[in-house]
Structure 1
Amino acid sequence: MELTKSEQSRAGLQKSFQSGTSAKASTVCYGYKVSRAGELMIDPIEANTVLFIFHRFMNGDSLGKISDALARKGIVSPTGRVTWSRETISKLLANEKYVGDVVLGKTNVIDGVHVKSHDASTQVLMRAHHPAIISHELFNAVQREKNNRSRSRLAAR
């Protein structure tokens, strides 16, 4: 049985994930830049903003309050907007790249649309892939706090 081009592509990506050779591991996110060698390195100015966001969240600030604080400081969003969206801040707080890890295979393309994958067997975790901006302890504490806040909001309904 022959594979379709889509299936071949998916198999090739999966193989590169498993071997640790996928270029997707070095996809840049806010707080990092790419070295000439193609490796992720910390952008000191943006890294300070990442730390600011994580610490403000852990100190009880809502996503809206963090957005307002960033605007008051004159820190533009990753897309250059004056105001950071709550969604952008929430995604930043959930991004494991800030602890130096990379998870490959978090999404699948179905009919041309990226869909979040919940199949852990297709995901590959690369620990200590690049320099960390925050500690695993802070990252894990933020994930617990996000979960607690969402539970509290659901219970209030």
Structure 2
Amino acid sequence: MPQIVEDEAMTIRLIYKLFLEGHTPSSIAKQLMSLNILSPTKRQKWPVSTVISILKNEKYKGDAILQKRYTTDFLTKKTKTNEGEVPQYYVENSHPAIIPPETFGLVQEEFARRKSKGGYTACQSCFSSRIICGDCGSAYGSKVWHAGSKYQHTVWQCNNKFKEKDKCSTPHLYDETIKKIFVEVMNHLIKNKAEIFENYRLMIEKLTDCQNLEEELKKVDEECSSIEMMVDAFVSENTRVAMDQEEYQRRYNTYAESYDKLRNRHMALTEEIRKREAQKNQIHDFLGILEKRDQLLTEFDETLWRRTILEMVVLSKDEVNFRFKDGAEIKWPMKGI
């Protein structure tokens, strides 16, 4: 059984931690090089592709996919990436884990979130891609006003504000405004965390209860297997007995249609179970962060922002809506800020 090399494991854990804090694979690679941490090939340079591979490799949570590659020629030992030519086998808990399965799941969800936003977002600011215009849905971008003068300052403004005929009515924001609102919201959560924990306890129980979904999934799999057997027998019969080919095609299409419906249902059930598991992991992560916070914030905490905030939607000059990674939302006034 493979053994964990603790020095290498520390690097893996650091990569996962930085990614969940909002850093891009490119930013992580640069940080690793600045810390003089060698890559898996013992080189100073960290390719971005290596960071991505580590973040997506199930082996770090203790699982393994067998036959990712296979031998095409046993004489020359030539191998090829398995693209469905031969079966693959997923083995859970095949070796000691470096990353908890929940953390691995959070990282995969974060990949999906960033992809839905159009790829890996820049990391010059923790606010990049997370401040959203409530009018058009576009991200806010940083703009320099009065460049080169003594009045020069940076603001955050909807990227599409002046691109359409009817410009967005959402206001521009200063860094300090965003930070102050976030501190207020987090302190509100910290003050009320006992109530929040109780509300989430009921939600977690519901998300954890997938028995009905799993029973239906099992039934769907059994029905799929049954149709596969009937189709195999039917095709075999057609090779042995003279059958009306129009009738054969009609019956075959009926089998295929039923099978496709079952497979679609199988995918829907699997996706629902995956979503519940992902949301449960996000909730546990959020509660874990909140549980460690006994003292109210006195200043903006960038790491806390990256770990908890999915988006801050600017609704108007008077109100914003915080969307947390666990699925919760809180509307917060901006008056007086």
Which TM class, normalised by the smaller chain length? 0.5 to 0.7
Match of 1:75 in 2: 37
Letter of the structure 1 residue corresponding to residue 29 of structure 2: S
| Cα distance in 2, alignment partners of residues 113 and 122 from structure 1 | 15
| Cα distance in 1, alignment partners of residues 54 and 80 from structure 2 | 18
Q: Structure 2 length as normaliser, TM-score?
A: 0.32
For residues 58-98 of structure 1, give each alpha carbon's deviation from its aligned partner in whole angstroms, at most 9, with x where no partner exists: 10001111011101111011112212111000001111110
SS state of the match for residue 87, structure 1? helix
Please state how far the C-alpha of 1:113 moved relative to its aligned partner: 5.4
Q: Runs of 4+ in structure 1 displaced over 4 angstroms?
A: 108-113
Q: 2:105 matched to 1:132?
A: no
Q: 2:110 matched to 1:148?
A: no
Match of 2:66 in 1: 104
**For 1:86, which of 48, 56, 72 is the aligned residue?**
48
Q: 2:63 matched to 1:63?
A: no
For residues 38-67 of structure 1, give each alpha carbon's deviation from its aligned partner in whole angstroms, at most 9, with x where no partner exists: x20100010000000001001000111101
Match of 2:13 in 1: 51
Higher relative contact order (CA 8 A, sep 6+): 1
Aligned-pair RMSD on alpha carbons? 2.2
Q: Is the 8 A contact 1:58 1:142 kept in 2?
A: yes
Please state how far the C-alpha of 1:107 moved relative to its aligned partner: 3.2
| Cα distance in 2, alignment partners of residues 66 and 49 from structure 1 | 11
Identical positions, percent: 33
| Cα distance in 2, alignment partners of residues 124 and 153 from structure 1 | 32
SS state of the match for residue 39, structure 2? coil
Match of 2:80 in 1: 114
SS state of the match for residue 149, structure 1? helix
| Cα distance in 2, alignment partners of residues 47 and 94 from structure 1 | 15
| Cα distance in 1, alignment partners of residues 113 and 103 from structure 2 | 15
For structure 2, the 5+ residue unaligned runs are 120-137, 139-337
Please state how far the C-alpha of 1:148 moved relative to its aligned partner: 1.8
Q: Is the 8 A contact 1:105 1:117 kept in 2?
A: no
Question: Greater CA deviation, 50-59 or 76-85?
Answer: 76-85
Please state how far the C-alpha of 1:116 moved relative to its aligned partner: 4.0
Match of 1:18 in 2: none
Higher gyration radius (CA):
2
Question: Greater CA deviation, 86-95 or 145-154?
Answer: 145-154
Equivalent residue pairs, number: 116
